[in-house]
């Protein structure tokens, strides 16, 4: 007769497909964070570089170059968020299971708040320079 004292309900280990889905999602999340860092660094860093190196340049040139960095940086953030939305939606519904992932809407809201904050700070900075 088997010993019932050793038959404890042990957690079932995840299957290979479950682990693969989690790795896929985590990779998408890491990629999103890298894209956000890069995009926001382009926005902030590029604008600061233009301001520091372009002291002798006309104001319209500084504004044009800083605006270019803003557009490129934020475009990169938007592209990264769109890709994350697609992958998070796909992974979330695999095999009828719901993974504990950061919702794509939350990531979008956080990125928008951070982007808006950087834009306001840079706008105030440029307003003080050009005034």
- Span 72-131, pLDDT tens digits: 988 988 888 888 888 777 766 655 555 566 677 887 888 888 888 877 877 777 777 666
In a domain, 88, yes or no: yes
When pLDDT is cut at 50, 70 and 90, the band that residue 7 belongs to is low
Residue-range definition of the domain harbouring residue 68: 16-130
Q: Could you tell me which residue, 4 or 131, shows the higher pLDDT?
A: 131
Residue 84: the pLDDT is 83
- Alpha carbon 118 to its chain centroid, in Å, reads 15
In a domain, 37, yes or no: yes
- Provide the number of structural domains found in the chain: 1
Helix/strand/coil for 121: helix
Q: How many helices (H) and strands (E) does the chain have?
A: 3, 0
Residue 119: the pLDDT is 79
pTM of the model: 0.65
Q: Which of 60, 66, 27, 82 is nearest to 130 (CA)?
A: 60
Distance CA 50, CA 53 (A): 5
Using the predicted structure, report yes or no on whether residue 24 has a pLDDT greater than 60: yes
Using the predicted structure, report yes or no on whether residue 5 has a pLDDT greater than 80: no
In a domain, 39, yes or no: yes
In a domain, 28, yes or no: yes
In a domain, 32, yes or no: yes
In a domain, 96, yes or no: yes
Percent of the chain with pLDDT over 90: 2
Distance CA 14, CA 31 (A): 24
For the packed helices 59-92 and 104-130, what is the interaxial angle rounded to 10 degrees?
A: 170
In a domain, 10, yes or no: no
Average pLDDT taken over every residue of the chain: 78
Number of residues assigned to the chain: 131
Residue 8: the pLDDT is 64
Q: From the CB of residue 85, how many other CB atoms can be counted at a distance below 10 Å?
A: 16
């Amino acid at each position: 007769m088997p010993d019932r004292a050793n038959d404890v309900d042990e957690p079932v280990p995840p299957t290979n497909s479950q682990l693969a889905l989690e790795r896929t999602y985590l990779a998408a999340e890491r990629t999103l964070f890298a894209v956000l860092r890069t995009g926001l660094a382009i926005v902030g860093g590029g604008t600061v570089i233009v301001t520091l190196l372009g002291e002798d340049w006309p104001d319209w040139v500084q504004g044009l170059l800083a605006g270019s960095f803003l557009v490129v940086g934020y475009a990169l953030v938007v592209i990264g968020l769109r890709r994350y939305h697609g992958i998070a939606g796909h992974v979330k519904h695999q095999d009828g299971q719901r993974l504990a992932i950061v919702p794509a809407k939350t990531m979008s809201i956080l990125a928008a708040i951070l982007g808006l904050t950087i834009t306001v700070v840079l706008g105030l900075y440029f307003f003080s320079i050009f005034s």
